[in-house]
Amino acid sequence: MTLKRALMQPMKTNWPKILKQGHQNKGKQCTGCCVEKLIEEGGKVENAFKALFSHFVNNSKCDTGEYELWGKDDDSGNKHYSQNNQLIMISRKRKVTGPAKKLKGAERIEQKCNTKYKYRISHTHEVPTRYINDVVRGTMTFKNCTDMLAALNFIHNKENTPINIATTNVVKYKVVRIKQIYMPRSELLYGDVKLNIQITAEGYKHNCELQLNLLDMIKAKGTKEGHGAYETWRNLDDECWAKYHKELPTSVGEMPGEFQGRAQKAIHASHQAYHKADIAIHNDPKFQAVLDKVNAWSSDIKSKVATNTIVPYDNPPKNS
């Protein structure tokens, strides 16, 4: 499959020249500065990630059931479009825990590289693809914060430990970034925990994304209102990066005027979807313990980043 070149040139960098000298010329290795290479690298660890994901699930109390949820794909992960080329939302029973069925698409990767990451690295002359950590990804869903906290502790305790997942597949991993977006509350009321896990398996290394979420939040996200609000907010963030070279402010009052109307509509839809889930999560007796765990772990990672013990963004990894 031929993918169009990512239009993501940082200021004063020769990445297009490097790209031309790489995979487009016979006998020369791609330098890892393009979307095609990023997807290729992700594919090399996809099976290892799925095996590691199953290992996490088997050692935690994930909700592995199926629920009626809205989305933009069918059981095989195929997206559906209307006659005017718009994605169609469909409702079906979906598993709330599992790895993504497909690698992240080139179109969305290019979109992110052309907006937020293009301007984030404009002074460092790096290539934006090294900041994309969710080509390979999955979601673990829990009924309560007690189970989520136990899973976080298990993942933390097994870092840098060789795991014999299969007879020919030994996997090691380390968490190079973790964050929670429950507190401070987003205006959308949505929250989750995300980990960037650097997997080493069979001579390959790649950063993947693992999301930990709560069932009430996933159910809310799986409504038309919840999914629609997320899509709108993400598009607004992309537009803000493209036009103003900064992320979308969390407060509507601080946004550029042309964004405020759509943002208010997204917030209204989001509150319809997430209000009950938000209350339930914040009333969970172990909610604060989850926040404390994530924040303490994040602080430890940041201290290691400061001493170059951990490189949080490096996809594809250098010299691999």
- Model pLDDT for residues 284-319, shown as the tens digit of each residue: 999 999 999 999 999 999 999 999 888 888 775 444
Give the residue numbers spanning the domain of 146: 46-306
Number of domains in the chain: 1
**Could you tell me the CA-to-CA distances from 26 to 21, 23, 32, 41 in Å, in that order?**
9, 7, 16, 19
Cα gap 240→115, rounded to integer Å:
8
* 218, 265, 180, 278: CA torsion to nearest 10: -60
Q: What is the pTM of this model?
A: 0.85
Burial class (CB in 10 A: 0-12, 13-18, 19+), 35: buried
Cα gap 122→137, rounded to integer Å:
27
In a domain, 60, yes or no: yes
Q: What pLDDT was estimated at residue 115?
A: 81
Closest CA to 7 of 157, 117, 136: 117
DSSP state of 283: T
In a domain, 71, yes or no: yes
In a domain, 88, yes or no: yes
Q: What percent of the chain has pLDDT above 70? A: 85
Q: Alpha helices of 163-256 — where are they, by DSSP H? A: 215-221, 224-244
**Could you tell me the CA-to-CA distances from 307 to 131, 178, 310 in Å, in that order?**
19, 17, 8
Closest CA to 148 of 98, 189, 193: 193
In a domain, 6, yes or no: no
Give 125's pLDDT tier (boundaries 50, 70, 90): low
Cα gap 145→139, rounded to integer Å:
15
Tokens of 25: 């010329």
* CA 306 remoteness from chain centre: 23
Cα gap 94→266, rounded to integer Å:
24
In a domain, 28, yes or no: no
Residue 196 contacts residue 209 (beta carbons within 8 Å): yes
Q: What pLDDT was estimated at residue 25?
A: 37
Q: What pLDDT was estimated at residue 123?
A: 65
